[in-house]
Amino acid sequence: MTLRRYQVGGAVRDRLLGRTPTEIDWVVVGATPEALRALGYRQVGRDFPVFLHPQTGDEHALARTERKAGAGHRGFVVHADPEVTLEMDLARRDLTINAIAEDEDGQLIDPYGGQRDLEARVFRHVSAAFAEDPLRVLRLARFAARFADLGFTLAPETATLCRQMAARGELAELSAERVWQETARALMESPRPSVYFETLRSLGALDSWFPELAALFGVPQRAEYHPEIDTGLHTLMCIDHAARQDYPLPVRISALTHDFGKALTPPAVLPRHPGHEARGVPLVTAFCDRLRVPNRCREVALIHTREHLLIHQVRQLRPTTLLALLERLQALRASPVFAAICQASYCDARGRLGLEDCEYPQVAYLQAAATVAGAVQARELMGDGVEGAALGAALAAARVEALREWREAGQGDAARGLG
């Protein structure tokens, strides 16, 4: 038995694109699990034989073929043995640019034209087997977003195949966990995560898992506040701003979801959207339930959806209303939620055509108000013998008074950004 190993997939692709690979994957031809274990490799794969190299820790998978035998991305029968060739293994991969191998001497093996498509900046499926796994539609959209700055396009035949898969409802077969994984990676790894959703929309695949977002396209907003007018476009601009600022995932999810309620605005009042923030809360909840969004992302998205209009108006709020808002934003206790809400508010303000770098003094005002209110502590009132429910009421009253004095003294002017 002659054991041969080849680097495959993303590592080869990224090097050919002039990028540093983030991980190295290998495929091993002409070997058995027993042979690799005898060489010190540690087996970790359950669905198919995957091993970790004893020195480098790189993943090594036995060359294999797959046969569709059920619904979803898990419905495959995997066949791995020494008779499976490298070309047979590469044939099961999704895109030609991911089906290039490199041997240990640096020689490229490219039976499906991946180098040609890299040079032409084209995403093209390797074979009709692409259609056997609906997750590949999401992966394709993620690659489109990841390489958005390189000008890749979809081969017409690949786009047609994806549209057919979406029209047959095959994306509904996917697990929420895998959809979330692809979506989170697209949001965090892409220079323009909007391309992920734009690609799915162009393929008729956005409604399957993101109906709340799909419903925003074509919904108008007031041009004096939103020169881009279209609510869907505004939402995509918000998540792109989050990516440019390298904001964390909870902020990006909030940027994506905060205006869901605008899709439910009665047509008679358009392009105004009174009450859209309250209408959006159950839609964000449904979205988070469907994708099993992590709790911190869910928390930030729900709070920002409910409060973002009030944040825009924060400089006009009375001290009592301002304090209540600060408490709901978790601004007066040690919590990362408030910082995330502030970042999401910047995304909302700057996710607008021609206003990508606009001033947004509301955040500084909120932060300054939180400092003023937070400086008043309960221990300062305990010396007067106040305790229990009375202590809470006294603390709130003292904080309201501190905010009133701060405003009346003009101390909020710098935070307001007034000149």
Q: Which of 62-71, 86-95, 162-171 has the lowest mean pLDDT?
A: 62-71
Separation CA 295–CA 101 (nearest Å): 40
**pLDDT at 409 (0 to 100):** 84
1-120 and 210-416, same CATH topology: no
The percent of residues above 90 in pLDDT, for the chain, comes to 74
Name the 3-class secondary structure at 154: strand
Pairwise pLDDT comparison (249 vs 48), residue with the higher score: 249
pLDDT confidence band for 181 (50 / 70 / 90): very high
CA 244, CA 357: separation in Å to the nearest integer? 11
Q: Does 73 have pLDDT greater than 60?
A: no
Residue 202, token pair as written in the block:
């162009």
Strand blocks (E) in 30-165: 42-43, 50-52, 59-62, 64-68, 76-80, 101-102, 108-109, 122-123, 153-154
Q: Who wins on pLDDT, 83 or 418?
A: 83
Fold of 210-416: Hypothetical protein af1432 (1.10.3210)
Please state, in angstroms and as integers, the Cα–Cα distance from residue 232 to each residue in 173, 186, 204, 282, 313, following that order: 26, 18, 15, 18, 23
At 382 the pLDDT is: 66
Position 146 pLDDT exceeds 60: yes
Distance separating alpha carbons of residues 200 and 351, to the nearest angstrom: 21
* pLDDT at residue 411 in the model: 55
CB 95 within 8 A of CB 9: no
Model pLDDT for residues 12-38, shown as the tens digit of each residue: 999 999 998 888 889 999 888 888 888
Place of tokens 């701003």: 241
> Coil, strand, or helix at residue 317?
coil
Q: What is the pLDDT of residue 8?
A: 92
User: pLDDT-derived band of residue 416, with 50, 70 and 90 as boundaries?
Assistant: very low
Q: Is the pLDDT of residue 418 over 50?
A: no
Domain limits, the chain: 1-120, 210-416
- Which of the pair, 1 or 9, is modelled with greater confidence? 9
**Predicted pLDDT at 235:** 98
Give pLDDT tens digits for 238-253: 999 999 999 999 999 9
The model's pLDDT over 359-401, given as tens digits with 9 standing for 90+, comes to 999 999 999 999 999 999 877 776 666 666 778 788 899 999 9
Which helix (H) or strand (E) element contains residue 6? strand 4-8
Question: Alpha-carbon torsion 269, 270, 273, 279, what sign?
Answer: positive
Alpha helices (H) in 121-248, listed in sequence order = 135-146, 156-167, 176-189, 194-202, 206-209, 211-214, 231-244
Look at residue 392 in the predicted model and tell me its pLDDT: 79
Q: How many CA atoms lie within 13 A of 416 on its CB side?
A: 13
Q: What per-residue string of b and e applies to 262-292 under the rule 16 or more CB within 10 Å gives b?
A: bbbbeeeeebebeebbebbbebbbebbeebe
pLDDT the model gives residue 55: 86
C-alpha torsion angle, residues 400, 404, 405, 410 (rounded to 10)? 140
Residue 32 burial class via C-beta count within 10 angstroms: exposed 0-12, middle 13-18, buried 19 and up: middle
pLDDT surpasses 50 at 414: no
pLDDT per residue as tens digits for the range 313-357? 999 999 999 999 999 999 998 889 999 999 999 999 999 999 999
- Position 61 scores a pLDDT of 87
Report pLDDT for 352.
97
pLDDT over 60 at 179, yes or no: yes
Residue 419 pLDDT > 50: no
Query: How many C-beta neighbours within 10 Å does residue 200 have?
Result: 29
State how far Cα 300 lies from the chain centre: 14
pLDDT at 385: 64
Dist CA 36 CA 52 (whole Å): 10
Residue type, 122: V
| Chosen CATH of 1-120 out of 3.40.980.10, 2.40.110.10, 3.60.40.10, 3.30.460.10 | 3.30.460.10
Q: What is the pLDDT of residue 30?
A: 87
Mean pLDDT of the chain: 91
Closest CA to 16 of 104, 145, 115: 115
Task: Determine the pLDDT at residue 31.
Answer: 87
- Bond from prior residue into 33 cis (ω within 30 degrees of 0): no
